[in-house]
Structure 1
């Protein structure tokens, strides 16, 4: 499992060297965008709006727009110094609270925590302490240059770190439009609704819930593959970089070769 962060967690005088691993993954099916006429993949270039020219990576700087078209430019050295100041700090558990006291709206992303080479004993101690106390730890951690608020809790036999939003990142309910004010509810309707809830109440089993759209989309893709409705494009853009001479020579050589006979794939009328 890939390590996304390496450091230590401390509570009191106990220091635990740990590694952070992403606990969840995005299973969305990624679809490419193709040119409708020739089915060549679409690419995107970084273009300066003022010069109307393509900009190279080394010519881009980062800035904060504090007013319309007014920027404070931050050079990479300044940002790197800030990153080092924060990322080298150990994660300190500053409070212990009950999990039930944190509304789910605060939760953002989950990571598994594993002990580093010498951290097994202290890791076990923290896990046992959280289990016995029924509490979770509140801490701060810097990941990818962003300081995060987090909680540490026990999940099965592992410690997990839940990244949670800071209070000012959660929008106020008062900003939500058209929320109805308190209104009288007919008792008979309420009783019927409560009866329905009772009938549908069960123990939570995550295995029973599946992404039906993703399943149907994959079935459609496999069906199109099986019926030979795959679209291909013979167009390949040649590199315009002079330094990539070998690739250009090889592409030219390949272009002069006689193509081997093969069945042309038919184009679909619809894109998946």
Structure 2
């Protein structure tokens, strides 16, 4: 089964104009990999679709909203079955996350979301023809077991691979998506495991912040999650492995509890007290 999210993020990985935004998944390595096996996107409608999406998703909030499409359908076949209808013609029975449907239908970026959906469907054949990811599930299981010592929340999460995410990850509820560990264009099993731990930690910190009445914004939330995971990794002698994962990130703030705003420092301490 091809996950619908794979097709959505495959398209979004080609949207160069979003590269400067935190939620962006634009990835030159993925674009180059696809081009080697399927030819340049300019030979398909993908290139123009990516430009349209990029012109609409010019802010963090806009891009995050457009990306919600990835959770609407669980598999590509179900998404394809609805291809002849616009989002506003779908019912809750047609989708896998009915709560998302009205948000997408009423979105100010609805046109871009429809373009993304159509582009994902058009790229399904190309995506299916790509060489399969080659990885050892045992290596990922072993890496996750090590990382869970530094990420208690990860134990209760379902972790799924969405290949075009590569080095990145996404979390919604207890469901985490990470890139596929692979021996060619993909990340290592260790990287994927730490990315999953980071996503679980973001969800945890978000919950603790809401409990404490701290207004949630992306930058301080991510910073607090990075600090919390780093502290936990050091406590279980996984600091070096965590640092290897951290090295792929650019422009980081100081990974130190003292660098956090007082309210977010209290949120981190609230999580640590639960360990």
**Shared fold per TM-score greater than 0.5:** no
TM-score calculated relative to the size of structure 2: 0.21
Q: Hey, which of these two has a bigger chunk of strand by percent?
A: 1
TM-score calculated relative to the size of structure 1: 0.21
Q: Hey, which of these two has a bigger chunk of helix by percent?
A: 2
